[in-house]
Protein backbone atom coordinates (compact mmCIF):
# COMPACT_ATOMS: atom_id res chain seq x y z
CA UNK A 1 0.00 0.00 0.00
CA UNK A 2 1.24 3.48 -0.88
CA UNK A 3 1.25 5.79 2.14
CA UNK A 4 -0.56 9.09 1.59
CA UNK A 5 1.87 11.97 1.23
CA UNK A 6 1.46 14.11 4.35
CA UNK A 7 4.05 16.75 3.50
CA UNK A 8 2.21 19.13 1.15
CA UNK A 9 2.28 22.90 1.41
CA UNK A 10 -0.61 24.79 3.00
CA UNK A 11 -3.72 23.55 4.75
CA UNK A 12 -4.52 20.13 3.31
CA UNK A 13 -8.17 19.29 4.01
CA UNK A 14 -9.10 15.84 2.71
CA UNK A 15 -12.19 13.66 2.76
CA UNK A 16 -11.10 10.17 3.79
CA UNK A 17 -13.73 7.64 2.63
CA UNK A 18 -13.53 4.18 4.19
CA UNK A 19 -15.64 1.03 4.27
CA UNK A 20 -16.21 -0.05 7.86
CA UNK A 21 -13.94 0.17 10.90
CA UNK A 22 -11.47 -2.49 9.78
CA UNK A 23 -10.83 -0.62 6.53
CA UNK A 24 -10.42 2.64 8.44
CA UNK A 25 -7.79 1.14 10.73
CA UNK A 26 -5.96 -0.60 7.88
CA UNK A 27 -5.69 2.65 5.92
CA UNK A 28 -5.20 5.11 8.77
CA UNK A 29 -2.56 3.20 10.74
CA UNK A 30 0.28 3.51 8.20
CA UNK A 31 -0.46 7.23 7.75
CA UNK A 32 -0.32 7.87 11.49
CA UNK A 33 2.76 5.67 11.91
CA UNK A 34 4.58 7.46 9.10
CA UNK A 35 3.79 10.86 10.60
CA UNK A 36 4.99 9.82 14.07
CA UNK A 37 8.24 8.45 12.65
CA UNK A 38 8.76 11.78 10.86
CA UNK A 39 8.38 13.63 14.18
CA UNK A 40 5.03 15.14 13.25
CA UNK A 41 2.45 15.83 15.99
CA UNK A 42 -0.73 13.80 15.44
CA UNK A 43 -4.23 14.22 16.85
CA UNK A 44 -6.88 11.59 16.11
CA UNK A 45 -10.46 12.69 16.87
CA UNK A 46 -12.81 9.82 16.04
CA UNK A 47 -15.18 7.70 18.15
CA UNK A 48 -13.90 5.63 21.08
CA UNK A 49 -14.39 2.30 19.30
CA UNK A 50 -12.14 3.25 16.39
CA UNK A 51 -9.65 4.84 18.76
CA UNK A 52 -9.21 1.53 20.56
CA UNK A 53 -8.84 -0.40 17.30
CA UNK A 54 -6.29 2.06 15.98
CA UNK A 55 -4.36 2.06 19.26
CA UNK A 56 -4.11 -1.72 19.12
CA UNK A 57 -2.86 -1.63 15.52
CA UNK A 58 -0.25 1.05 16.25
CA UNK A 59 1.16 -0.67 19.33
CA UNK A 60 3.86 1.39 21.05
CA UNK A 61 3.48 4.14 18.45
CA UNK A 62 0.06 4.98 19.94
CA UNK A 63 1.70 6.66 22.93
CA UNK A 64 3.00 9.41 20.62
CA UNK A 65 -0.49 10.25 19.35
CA UNK A 66 -3.04 12.58 20.97
CA UNK A 67 -6.54 11.09 21.11
CA UNK A 68 -9.95 12.70 21.42
CA UNK A 69 -13.44 11.18 21.41
CA UNK A 70 -15.13 13.29 18.71
CA UNK A 71 -18.61 12.32 19.84
CA UNK A 72 -18.04 13.99 23.17
CA UNK A 73 -16.77 17.32 21.96
CA UNK A 74 -18.42 17.28 18.54
CA UNK A 75 -22.04 16.40 19.32
CA UNK A 76 -22.58 20.07 18.55
CA UNK A 77 -20.44 20.66 15.43
CA UNK A 78 -20.04 24.30 16.43
CA UNK A 79 -17.56 23.22 19.14
CA UNK A 80 -15.05 21.41 16.93
CA UNK A 81 -12.95 24.15 15.32
CA UNK A 82 -11.46 25.25 18.68
CA UNK A 83 -10.15 21.69 19.13
CA UNK A 84 -8.08 22.04 15.96
CA UNK A 85 -7.15 25.63 16.79
CA UNK A 86 -5.66 24.45 20.08
CA UNK A 87 -3.80 21.62 18.35
CA UNK A 88 -2.25 23.98 15.81
CA UNK A 89 -1.41 26.60 18.45
CA UNK A 90 0.33 24.04 20.66
CA UNK A 91 2.99 23.24 18.06
CA UNK A 92 5.47 25.41 16.23
CA UNK A 93 5.93 25.35 12.49
CA UNK A 94 8.98 23.12 12.65
CA UNK A 95 6.92 20.08 11.68
CA UNK A 96 3.81 19.48 9.67
CA UNK A 97 0.77 18.55 11.78
CA UNK A 98 -1.55 15.63 11.05
CA UNK A 99 -5.14 15.30 12.21
CA UNK A 100 -7.92 12.80 11.72
CA UNK A 101 -11.34 14.30 12.52
CA UNK A 102 -14.70 12.59 11.97
CA UNK A 103 -17.52 15.10 12.56
CA UNK A 104 -20.12 13.11 10.58
CA UNK A 105 -21.21 9.66 11.70
CA UNK A 106 -24.26 7.41 11.30
CA UNK A 107 -27.14 8.47 13.55
CA UNK A 108 -26.76 12.21 13.17
CA UNK A 109 -30.19 13.75 12.58
CA UNK A 110 -30.99 16.05 9.66
CA UNK A 111 -30.31 19.31 11.52
CA UNK A 112 -27.01 18.04 12.91
CA UNK A 113 -25.93 16.88 9.45
CA UNK A 114 -26.57 20.32 7.99
CA UNK A 115 -24.41 21.98 10.65
CA UNK A 116 -21.72 19.28 10.44
CA UNK A 117 -21.47 19.81 6.67
CA UNK A 118 -21.26 23.54 7.32
CA UNK A 119 -18.48 22.87 9.84
CA UNK A 120 -16.55 20.93 7.20
CA UNK A 121 -16.88 23.86 4.80
CA UNK A 122 -15.82 26.41 7.40
CA UNK A 123 -12.64 24.51 8.25
CA UNK A 124 -11.32 25.71 4.89
CA UNK A 125 -11.84 29.32 5.95
CA UNK A 126 -10.62 28.85 9.51
CA UNK A 127 -7.27 27.37 8.49
CA UNK A 128 -6.73 29.00 5.10
CA UNK A 129 -3.69 30.85 6.48
CA UNK A 130 -2.12 27.81 8.16
CA UNK A 131 0.74 26.40 6.11
CA UNK A 132 1.61 23.20 7.98
CA UNK A 133 -1.57 21.26 8.75
CA UNK A 134 -3.11 18.18 7.10
CA UNK A 135 -6.60 17.23 8.28
CA UNK A 136 -8.16 13.97 7.08
CA UNK A 137 -11.92 13.63 7.66
CA UNK A 138 -13.15 10.01 7.65
CA UNK A 139 -16.51 9.14 6.03
CA UNK A 140 -17.92 5.62 6.38
CA UNK A 141 -19.23 4.79 2.90
CA UNK A 142 -20.72 1.56 4.27
CA UNK A 143 -23.09 3.33 6.69
CA UNK A 144 -23.56 6.88 5.46
CA UNK A 145 -26.04 7.88 2.75
CA UNK A 146 -24.67 8.56 -0.76
CA UNK A 147 -25.82 12.19 -0.46
CA UNK A 148 -23.60 12.62 2.61
CA UNK A 149 -20.60 11.21 0.77
CA UNK A 150 -21.29 13.51 -2.18
CA UNK A 151 -21.44 16.52 0.14
CA UNK A 152 -18.04 15.56 1.56
CA UNK A 153 -16.57 16.06 -1.89
CA UNK A 154 -18.07 19.55 -2.01
CA UNK A 155 -16.64 20.59 1.34
CA UNK A 156 -13.13 19.17 0.91
CA UNK A 157 -10.58 20.38 -1.65
CA UNK A 158 -9.04 16.90 -1.72
CA UNK A 159 -10.18 13.28 -1.44
CA UNK A 160 -7.95 10.47 -0.23
CA UNK A 161 -8.33 7.59 -2.69
CA UNK A 162 -6.23 4.64 -3.84
CA UNK A 163 -3.48 5.48 -1.37
CA UNK A 164 -3.05 9.02 -2.65
CA UNK A 165 -4.70 12.42 -2.47
CA UNK A 166 -6.70 13.70 -5.41
CA UNK A 167 -8.25 17.13 -5.96
CA UNK A 168 -12.03 17.02 -5.59
CA UNK A 169 -13.74 18.28 -8.76
CA UNK A 170 -16.85 19.03 -6.70
CA UNK A 171 -15.17 21.33 -4.14
CA UNK A 172 -17.25 24.51 -3.89
CA UNK A 173 -14.39 26.93 -3.12
CA UNK A 174 -13.69 29.54 -0.42
CA UNK A 175 -15.75 32.31 -2.01
CA UNK A 176 -18.89 30.15 -2.06
CA UNK A 177 -18.26 28.97 1.50
CA UNK A 178 -17.87 32.51 2.82
CA UNK A 179 -21.03 33.65 1.05
CA UNK A 180 -23.22 30.71 2.00
CA UNK A 181 -25.80 31.31 4.70
CA UNK A 182 -27.04 27.76 4.99
CA UNK A 183 -30.34 26.22 3.92
CA UNK A 184 -33.62 27.59 5.28
CA UNK A 185 -34.59 26.23 8.67
CA UNK A 186 -37.50 23.78 8.55
CA UNK A 187 -40.75 24.77 10.18
CA UNK A 188 -41.37 23.45 13.71
CA UNK A 189 -42.85 19.98 13.97
CA UNK A 190 -44.64 20.51 17.30
CA UNK A 191 -46.97 22.98 19.00
CA UNK A 192 -45.34 26.39 18.99
CA UNK A 193 -45.40 29.12 21.61
CA UNK A 194 -44.83 32.55 20.11
CA UNK A 195 -43.52 35.64 21.88
CA UNK A 196 -43.06 39.27 20.89
CA UNK A 197 -40.19 40.86 22.79
CA UNK A 198 -39.90 44.62 22.98
CA UNK A 199 -36.49 46.27 22.95
CA UNK A 200 -33.26 44.35 22.93
CA UNK A 201 -33.92 41.96 25.81
CA UNK A 202 -36.55 40.51 28.09
CA UNK A 203 -35.72 38.25 31.04
CA UNK A 204 -39.12 36.66 30.58
CA UNK A 205 -37.91 35.03 27.36
CA UNK A 206 -35.24 33.05 29.18
CA UNK A 207 -37.71 32.12 31.89
CA UNK A 208 -40.15 30.79 29.29
CA UNK A 209 -37.38 28.70 27.72
CA UNK A 210 -36.40 27.22 31.07
CA UNK A 211 -40.02 26.49 31.97
CA UNK A 212 -40.69 24.70 28.71
CA UNK A 213 -37.50 22.67 29.12
CA UNK A 214 -38.50 21.57 32.62
CA UNK A 215 -41.99 20.66 31.40
CA UNK A 216 -40.34 18.53 28.70
CA UNK A 217 -38.41 16.58 31.31
CA UNK A 218 -34.99 18.17 30.85
CA UNK A 219 -32.77 18.29 33.89
CA UNK A 220 -32.72 21.64 35.72
CA UNK A 221 -29.15 22.31 34.60
CA UNK A 222 -30.13 21.78 30.97
CA UNK A 223 -33.11 24.11 31.39
CA UNK A 224 -30.86 26.75 32.96
CA UNK A 225 -28.33 26.36 30.15
CA UNK A 226 -31.00 26.98 27.54
CA UNK A 227 -32.22 30.07 29.38
CA UNK A 228 -28.68 31.43 29.63
CA UNK A 229 -28.05 30.74 25.94
CA UNK A 230 -31.24 32.54 24.91
CA UNK A 231 -30.26 35.51 27.04
CA UNK A 232 -26.71 35.59 25.70
CA UNK A 233 -27.85 35.55 22.07
CA UNK A 234 -30.47 38.26 22.56
CA UNK A 235 -28.12 40.44 24.59
CA UNK A 236 -25.28 40.14 22.06
CA UNK A 237 -27.35 40.34 18.88
CA UNK A 238 -30.47 42.29 19.75
CA UNK A 239 -30.74 45.67 18.06
CA UNK A 240 -31.55 48.58 20.41
CA UNK A 241 -35.10 49.74 19.93
CA UNK A 242 -35.99 46.83 17.68
CA UNK A 243 -38.53 44.22 18.67
CA UNK A 244 -37.81 40.52 18.45
CA UNK A 245 -40.00 37.58 17.57
CA UNK A 246 -39.39 34.33 19.42
CA UNK A 247 -40.78 30.81 19.07
CA UNK A 248 -40.35 27.80 21.34
CA UNK A 249 -41.46 24.19 20.93
CA UNK A 250 -40.74 20.57 21.81
CA UNK A 251 -39.46 18.19 19.18
CA UNK A 252 -38.07 14.63 19.44
CA UNK A 253 -37.27 14.86 23.13
CA UNK A 254 -35.64 18.29 22.83
CA UNK A 255 -36.71 21.88 23.33
CA UNK A 256 -36.01 24.46 20.64
CA UNK A 257 -35.95 28.24 20.99
CA UNK A 258 -35.78 30.45 17.93
CA UNK A 259 -35.19 34.23 18.00
CA UNK A 260 -35.79 36.31 14.89
CA UNK A 261 -35.10 39.99 14.23
CA UNK A 262 -31.53 39.86 15.55
CA UNK A 263 -28.66 41.88 14.14
CA UNK A 264 -26.77 40.49 11.13
CA UNK A 265 -23.87 38.07 11.47
CA UNK A 266 -21.08 39.12 9.12
CA UNK A 267 -18.46 36.54 10.14
CA UNK A 268 -19.22 32.97 8.96
CA UNK A 269 -17.09 31.66 11.84
CA UNK A 270 -18.95 33.61 14.54
CA UNK A 271 -19.67 31.34 17.49
CA UNK A 272 -17.32 28.63 16.21
CA UNK A 273 -14.14 30.50 17.19
CA UNK A 274 -13.02 31.85 20.54
CA UNK A 275 -14.59 35.33 20.60
CA UNK A 276 -12.68 38.56 20.87
CA UNK A 277 -12.93 40.44 24.20
CA UNK A 278 -15.13 43.04 22.54
CA UNK A 279 -18.86 42.54 22.16
CA UNK A 280 -20.78 41.47 19.08
CA UNK A 281 -22.65 38.39 17.86
CA UNK A 282 -19.65 36.09 18.27
CA UNK A 283 -19.73 36.21 22.07
CA UNK A 284 -23.41 35.32 22.37
CA UNK A 285 -23.17 32.58 19.75
CA UNK A 286 -20.02 31.17 21.35
CA UNK A 287 -21.72 30.84 24.72
CA UNK A 288 -24.78 29.30 23.10
CA UNK A 289 -22.62 26.68 21.39
CA UNK A 290 -21.09 25.71 24.73
CA UNK A 291 -24.49 25.36 26.41
CA UNK A 292 -26.72 23.91 23.68
CA UNK A 293 -26.76 20.71 21.65
CA UNK A 294 -27.13 22.63 18.40
CA UNK A 295 -27.00 26.26 17.28
CA UNK A 296 -28.22 27.28 13.83
CA UNK A 297 -27.75 30.78 12.42
CA UNK A 298 -29.42 31.99 9.24
CA UNK A 299 -29.91 35.32 7.47
CA UNK A 300 -33.37 36.80 7.99
CA UNK A 301 -34.32 39.98 6.19
CA UNK A 302 -31.59 42.48 7.03
CA UNK A 303 -30.64 40.59 10.16
CA UNK A 304 -30.45 37.05 11.46
CA UNK A 305 -32.47 34.30 13.06
CA UNK A 306 -30.91 31.91 15.60
CA UNK A 307 -32.33 28.52 16.58
CA UNK A 308 -31.10 26.79 19.74
CA UNK A 309 -31.70 23.17 20.72
CA UNK A 310 -31.34 21.52 24.11
CA UNK A 311 -32.13 17.87 24.76
CA UNK A 312 -31.90 15.40 27.57
d(CA 129, CA 98): 16
The pLDDT score that the predictor gives to residue 29 is 98
What is the predicted pLDDT for the residue at 197? 75
Residue 281: the pLDDT is: 86
pLDDT at 128: 95
Supply φ then ψ for residue 80, to 5 degrees. Answer: -85, -40
Q: What is the dihedral of CA 199, 276, 67, 226, to 10 degrees?
A: -10
Q: Does the model's pTM come out above 0.75?
A: yes
Instruction: Write down the pLDDT at residue 252.
Output: 87
Give residue 9's pLDDT. 65
- Distance, first Cα to last Cα, the chain: 45
pLDDT for residue 7: 45
Q: What are the φ/ψ torsions at residue 223 (nearest 5 degrees)?
A: -65, -45
Contact criterion met (CB below 8 Å) for 132 and 93: yes
Q: For residue 190, what pLDDT is reported?
A: 77
pLDDT, mean of residues 17-31? 97
Average pLDDT of every residue of the chain: 91
Domains within the chain, CATH numbers bracketed: 12-179 (3.40.50.300), 192-311 (3.30.565.10)
pLDDT at residue 2 tops 60: no
pLDDT (tens digit, 9 = 90+) per residue, 85-124? 999 999 977 789 999 999 999 999 999 999 999 999 999 9
pLDDT tens digits for 51-64?
Answer: 999 999 999 999 99
> Residue 3 and residue 292: Cα distance in Å, rounded?
40
Amino acid sequence: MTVVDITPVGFQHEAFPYTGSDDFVARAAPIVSSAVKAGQPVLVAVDDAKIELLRDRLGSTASSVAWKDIRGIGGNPGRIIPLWRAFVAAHDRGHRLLGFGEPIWPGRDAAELVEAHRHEQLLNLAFAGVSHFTLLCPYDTERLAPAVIHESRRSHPFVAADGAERPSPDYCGLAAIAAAGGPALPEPAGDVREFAVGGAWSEALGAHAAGLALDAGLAPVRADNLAIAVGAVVEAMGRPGAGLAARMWRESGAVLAEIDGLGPVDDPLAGREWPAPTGGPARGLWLANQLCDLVQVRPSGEGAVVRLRAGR
